């Protein structure tokens, strides 16, 4: 059995690992590489090579193909290992499912924020009433779709099962459920704003319709009254011009003619 040629001490938190390499490296004037050290440490510590950070004498061993000797590491050197072991919980299918739901919740939350912004902009009155109501109807449909998606995600979370030793996963799921319920309350608030705005617009249109009818009615009455006045006064000499032949033509003031909005011979 070959004697040990190189042995280093690796410190990982409160743990210490002794890593050795066979004497063949020394005989061939070669040295173990950082990659080989990292692979040995993965087996000993459980920290994956990709998650490791090795430090010796204040220098990070970033070049995996470089030799330990190039970093001044010899037998008896101390190396610090930074990195954590992968938690079996995070690698479980159940936990990954929760993470996927969290991602979907984040996307739906963004959509909800966009809907809320559009509703607030419409309330400022930048669009005509008919266009605003049409846009609010579309936003309300989008809001219902978001709400339905939230409910589906709640059903997915409810269907997940965890063991007694998966307390962290259950707490993670509860946090996602609480977040979805909070967002559902927000969708209800936005829906109430939309409904209130649409109701106000309908009432305003009803009032405007009455105002327009009353205005048209008054204008019609005014024309009729002026028409009657003209008929009553049509025989008055002051309302006629007489030519040399004695014939007469009716005369009506320009103001009255404009008010009647018709020609004097359109009666």
CA-nearest of 172, 9, 38 to 101 is 172
Element (H, E) at 5: strand 4-12
What DSSP designation does 69 have? G
Would you state the structure tokens that stand for residue 197, as one six-digit string? 């705005």
Q: What share of the chain is helix, strand, coil (3-state, %, to 5)?
A: 60, 15, 25
- Helix (DSSP H) and strand (DSSP E) numbers for the chain: 7, 7
pLDDT digits (tens, 9 = 90+) for 147-171: 999 999 999 999 988 777 677 788 8
Q: Answer yes or no: is 162 within a domain.
A: yes
Q: Are residues 12 and 78 in the same domain?
A: yes
CATH number, domain of 73, equals: 3.10.20.90
- What are 30's strand-pairing partners? none
Query: Average pLDDT, stretch 10-36?
Result: 74
Q: Answer yes or no: is 59 within a domain.
A: yes
Q: Are residues 78 and 113 in the same domain?
A: no
Q: Are residues 106 and 210 in the same domain?
A: yes
Q: Are residues 41 and 138 in the same domain?
A: no
Q: Are residues 100 and 57 in the same domain?
A: no
Query: What pLDDT sits at residue 238?
Result: 47
One-letter-per-residue 3-state SS of 118-167: HHHHHHCCCCCHHHHHHHHHHHHHHHHHHHHHHHHHHHHHHHCCCCCCCH
CATH number, domain of 155, equals: 1.20.58.120
User: pTM for the complete prediction?
Assistant: 0.48
Distances from the Cα of 206 to the Cαs of 81, 138, 200, in angstroms? 76, 22, 10
Q: Are residues 36 and 132 in the same domain?
A: no
Query: What pLDDT sits at residue 176?
Result: 92
Q: Are residues 40 and 94 in the same domain?
A: no
End of a domain among 64, 86, 108?
86
Would you state the structure tokens that stand for residue 237, as one six-digit string? 């000499």
pLDDT digits (tens, 9 = 90+) for 52-99: 999 999 999 999 999 888 898 888 899 999 988 776 656 677 778 888
pLDDT category at 252 given cuts 50, 70, 90 is very low
End of a domain among 50, 66, 86?
86
CA atoms within 13 A on the CB side of 99: 9
Q: Are residues 146 and 97 in the same domain?
A: yes
pLDDT digits (tens, 9 = 90+) for 229-244: 555 554 555 444 555 5
| Measured distance CA(255)–CA(249) in Å, rounded | 18
> How many Cβ atoms from other residues are within 10 Å of residue 33's Cβ?
19
Q: Are residues 197 and 150 in the same domain?
A: yes
Asked whether 190 and 116 are in contact (CB, 8 A), the reply is yes
Q: Are residues 135 and 199 in the same domain?
A: yes
Q: Are residues 73 and 98 in the same domain?
A: no
Torsions phi, psi for 17 (to 5 deg): -125, 135
Asked whether 21 and 36 are in contact (CB, 8 A), the reply is yes
Would you state the structure tokens that stand for residue 232, as one six-digit string? 């009553």
pLDDT category at 172 given cuts 50, 70, 90 is confident
Would you state the structure tokens that stand for residue 261, as one six-digit string? 């909005």
Query: What pLDDT sits at residue 262?
Result: 42
* Domain range for 61: 5-86
- Domains identified in the chain, total number: 2
Torsions phi, psi for 107 (to 5 deg): -65, -45
Q: Are residues 95 and 206 in the same domain?
A: yes
């Amino acid at each position: 059995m070959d004697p040990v040629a190189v042995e280093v001490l690796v410190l990982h938190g409160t743990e210490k690992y002794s890593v050795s390499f066979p004497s063949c490296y020394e005989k061939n004037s070669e040295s173990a590489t950082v990659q080989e050290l990292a692979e040995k440490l993965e087996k000993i510590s459980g920290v994956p090579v990709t998650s490791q950070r090795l430090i010796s004498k204040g220098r990070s061993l970033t070049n995996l193909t470089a030799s330990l000797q190039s970093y001044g590491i010899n037998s008896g050197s101390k190396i610090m290992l930074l990195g954590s072991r992968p938690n079996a919980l995070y690698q479980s299918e159940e936990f990954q499912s929760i993470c996927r739901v969290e991602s979907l919740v984040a996307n739906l939350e963004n959509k909800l924020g966009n809907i809320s912004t559009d509703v607030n902009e419409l309330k400022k009155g930048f669009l005509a009433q008919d266009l605003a109501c049409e846009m609010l109807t579309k936003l309300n449909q989008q809001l219902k779709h978001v709400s339905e998606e939230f409910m589906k995600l709640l059903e997915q979370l409810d269907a997940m099962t965890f063991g007694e030793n998966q307390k962290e996963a259950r707490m993670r799921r509860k946090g996602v459920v609480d977040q979805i319920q909070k967002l559902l309350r927000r969708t209800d608030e936005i829906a109430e704003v939309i409904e209130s705005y649409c109701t106000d617009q309908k009432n305003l249109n009803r009032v405007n319709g009455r105002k327009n009818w009353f205005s048209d009615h008054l204008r019609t009455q005014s024309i009729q009254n002026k028409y009657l006045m003209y008929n009553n006064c049509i025989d008055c000499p002051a309302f006629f011009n007489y030519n040399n032949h004695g014939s007469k033509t009716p005369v009506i003031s320009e103001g009255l003619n404009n008010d009647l909005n018709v020609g004097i011979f359109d009666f």
